[in-house]
Amino acid sequence: MKKVTIQDIAMELGLSRNTVAKALNGGFVSPSTKQAVVQKAWQMGYAKLDENLLQEVKSVYHKNNRGTILVLFNHWQSTFWNRTLAGISVAVNTEDCRMQLHVVDEDDKNGEGVLKLIADDVKGIIFLSLFPIQFVKGVSKAGLPMTFFNSPVNAQEYINLGDVVSVDGFYAMNRMTSYIIKNKGCTKLAYIGYAEGSRMIQARYLGYLNACNQNYIGVDEKMQFTHPANHINFSYAMVEEAMNQMMYVPDAIICEDDDVAKNVALALLQKDPLAARKTVITGFNNTIEPDFFKRDILTVEVRMEELGKRLVKSVMDRVKDPTMDVSFTTIATYPKIEENYTNDR
């Protein structure tokens, strides 16, 4: 392993070598610069870091820090979580706290691994992923305020343990489906998404069904693919299998989110390039890359930074008033239909 030097630390922080040397050797620098330099030196494994200096900086940090918000997740979904975490970070800093991220080990069935890492300064916990109730109950033994993003279809056990923040799926998907029926002339519709995956995802499917009913469009049960084989999500292979099972190419394929929508577009491209261009495909979350080959996929914007802030507000409200009523908050979402429709014309 390469030996860490003062120059390495300086480059990481964008400071001069002289400034970093002063901070590490008792020279005069601002308290914030000293804090940043010592923390970075410790993180990088600087061998000559003075232990007394490190403890001094840690002491100041804990004095100024009101606590830690622990954020738990079990997988990483690129753009969605990056932007949500950005919102969490901003809100946590506003509360003079810090954010601690932890990827939960799949073997931690009862939450014992999480309980071991909870320090004295942890004020509350945000569950950014959907976890089994056994794990959640285990973590709840810490006795800390807990806020969940999303919940199982049967959310009662979650609600008994903490607050829930979700994003609207029903009304957004209802509006999206009605739009493609009325404005795109689509009457033969297929749906791909795990209808029982969570309360939030189920709401999207129900919104789609409601729009079909409102617009007198029959739902072909053979074109509804709502139960992935792995009972988690629709991978590309599962989407490809669903496409192969379709008796005909529908006018539109409604997808639970943008990841599924991209897989549908790619699978359709392999199967029938002309259909890939003509078939209306909808997603959810507004995370499709601008350079993706099918640029007219309709989607729904989720203001993810706002979601992150709401999650922090929820858990901090509970920290400040543990006796408050349990809340189930739904954040509005915004179908990007008018904008896409204008671009298509």
What is the predicted pLDDT for the residue at 64?
55
For residues 128 and 304, what is the distance between their CA atoms, to the nearest angstrom? 12
Amino acid at residue number 220: D
Give the helix ranges, DSSP H, for the chain.
6-13, 17-24, 31-44, 51-64, 78-94, 112-117, 133-140, 156-159, 170-182, 199-214, 236-245, 258-271, 273-278, 304-320, 337-344
What is the predicted pLDDT for the residue at 343?
37
Of 6, 105, 84, 54, the residue nearest 310 (C-alpha): 84
Convert the pLDDT of each residue in 26-72 to its tens digit. 888 887 788 778 878 887 888 888 888 878 776 665 555 578 999 99
Convert the pLDDT of each residue in 98-119 to its tens digit. 888 888 988 999 999 999 888 8
The hierarchical CATH code for the domain 170-283 is: 3.40.50.2300
**DSSP 3-state assignment of 125?**
strand
Strand pairing report for 224-225 and 189-192:
parallel
Residue 252 near residue 222 (C-beta atoms within 8 A): no
Domains 6-64 and 68-167+304-332 share a fold: no
Q: Cα–chain-centroid distance for residue 162? A: 19
Task: Give whole-number Cα distances, 6 to 33, 45, 98, 318, in Å.
Answer: 14, 11, 27, 43
CATH class of 68-167+304-332: alpha beta
Res 217 pLDDT > 60: yes
Domain positions in the chain? 6-64, 68-167+304-332, 170-283
Convert the pLDDT of each residue in 189-214 to its tens digit. 999 999 888 999 999 999 999 999 99
The hierarchical CATH code for the domain 6-64 is: 1.10.260
